């Protein structure tokens, strides 16, 4: 293991990454608040500014995956469609099998220049959290409480607000509603049996109501549905902690472009269409497990430098005050303080990282899949 890889596993590096993300996030939030007076004067300009501010924060996660861990997504798609990506609005349907699938989705957005304007469906509680939640609020993310009677009006209004959005945007949807686990899959397939639906091996049942409402309200604004199926080579089980530790993964993403006109307008027909789409996705995953690749040619859009430049810029800017503090500490001549600082920085944090991994596993077990009003 080289020196660089050894450093990537050290707690001090992780601390610097988290410090940079959190502090830069708060500064982005402050700048977003400063755009409030601009909204009634020039709404579209305020939106564009918030897209750039959102990119400066979200792209740090992309840089973490691509440049820090060295993981690069391989895209399988029709070359003809490849020329269209990033030049139109789209609904992106992603499977939710892995801990870092959201990072791969953001990488897809970044490669085609729509990361700053990408949208997603998020829990209402997140909008109250600083950094990510506040950033998403200014980016006009669609927040829900997962109670249809309460969500219906706000959900539709949020989608209608995107009709005059000044930038090309992608609306990212995890139609399964939660990440795949064996326990959730078992419950989901019991529901499928009761409803007379074909069982899925690699997915949970999609929740169709949210998809149908999104399609209906974005017709005329969105040109296509991008059906994305993600998997990892060599049966890798990627984790966010692994990415932070600099572990390299090998994600493959199969993208199909489906014109929105081919999605039925009727709710029942749209529900059946989405179930059929997930049956196809399930077959693609089964074929991948056998062959190790998806169908279709491989395309490799160039990895732009802006995510890395932005990340380095924020890191340098925010570490400079700490550097000055360290210089003052050394100049103070307090041997005890210096020794305590060195001991903290060089301490082996394996136990800390082990507890962190354990917490991630606990969190993944807490949520259970259950049908709700957002289901068919």
Strand partners, 264: none
Q: CA-based diameter of the chain, in Å?
A: 75
pTM of the model: 0.88
CA distances from 275 to 101, 183, 286, 316 (A): 21, 21, 17, 48
CA distances from 223 to 13, 90, 220 (A): 43, 6, 7
Per-residue tens of pLDDT for the chain, all 376 residues: 588 888 898 888 999 999 999 999 999 999 999 999 999 999 999 999 999 999 999 999 999 999 999 999 999 999 999 999 999 999 999 999 999 999 999 999 999 999 999 999 888 898 999 999 999 999 999 998 877 777 888 899 999 999 999 999 999 999 998 889 999 999 999 999 999 999 999 999 999 998 999 999 999 999 999 999 999 999 999 999 999 999 999 999 999 999 999 999 999 999 999 999 999 999 999 999 999 999 989 988 888 899 999 999 999 999 999 888 888 877 776 666 666 666 655 554 444 444 444 444 444 444 444 444 444 4
Query: Which domains, ranges and CATH numbers included, belong to the chain?
Result: 71-303 (3.40.1130)
Q: Position of tokens 């085609």?
A: 112
Strands (E), the chain: 74-76, 90-94, 119-123, 142-144, 170-173, 224-232, 251-259, 298-299
What does the DSSP 8-state code read for residue 219? B
The alpha helices in 130-171, defined as continuous H runs, are 132-138, 148-161
Residues 357 and 363: their CA atoms lie apart, in Å, by 10
* Token digits of residue 34: 């400063």
Q: Position of tokens 């078992």?
A: 186
Considering only CA atoms, which of 264, 145, 148, 279 is closest in space to residue 204? 279
């Amino acid at each position: 293991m080289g020196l660089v890889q050894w450093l990537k596993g050290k707690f001090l590096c992780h601390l610097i990454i988290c410090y940079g993300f959190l502090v830069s996030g708060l500064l982005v939030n402050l700048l977003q608040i400063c755009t409030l007076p601009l909204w009634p004067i020039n709404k579209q300009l305020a939106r564009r500014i918030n897209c750039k501010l959102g990119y400066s924060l979200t792209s740090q996660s992309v840089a973490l995956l691509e440049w820090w861990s060295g993981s690069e997504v391989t895209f399988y798609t029709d070359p003809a469609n490849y020329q269209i990506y990033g030049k139109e609005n789209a609904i992106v349907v992603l499977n939710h099998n892995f801990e870092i699938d959201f990072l791969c989705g953001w990488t897809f957005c970044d490669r085609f220049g729509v990361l700053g304007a990408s949208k997603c469906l998020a829990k209402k509680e997140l909008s109250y959290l600083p950094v990510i939640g506040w950033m998403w609020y200014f980016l006009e993310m669609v927040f829900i409480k997962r109670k249809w009677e309460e969500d219906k009006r706000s959900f539709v209004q949020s989608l209608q607000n995107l009709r005059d959005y000044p930038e090309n945007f992608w609306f990212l949807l995890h139609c399964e509603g939660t990440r795949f686990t064996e326990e959730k899959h078992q419950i989901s397939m019991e529901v499928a049996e009761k409803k007379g639906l074909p069982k899925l091996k690699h997915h949970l049942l999609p929740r169709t109501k949210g998809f149908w409402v999104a399609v209906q309200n974005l017709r005329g604004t969105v040109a296509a549905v991008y059906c994305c199926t993600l998997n990892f080579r060599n049966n890798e089980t990627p984790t966010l902690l692994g990415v932070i530790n600099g572990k390299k993964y090998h994600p493959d993403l199969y993208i199909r472009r489906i014109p929105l006109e081919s999605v039925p307008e009727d709710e029942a027909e749209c529900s059946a269409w989405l179930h059929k789409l997930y049956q196809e996705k399930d077959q693609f995953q089964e074929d991948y497990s056998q062959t190790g690749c998806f169908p279709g040619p491989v395309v490799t859009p160039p990895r732009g430098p802006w995510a890395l430049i932005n990340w380095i810029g924020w890191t340098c800017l925010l570490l400079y005050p700490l550097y000055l503090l360290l210089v003052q500490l050394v100049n103070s001549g307090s041997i005890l303080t210096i020794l305590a600082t060195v001991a903290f920085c060089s301490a082996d944090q394996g136990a800390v990282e082990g507890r962190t991994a354990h917490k991630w596993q606990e969190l993944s077990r807490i949520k259970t899949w259950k049908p709700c009003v957002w289901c068919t």
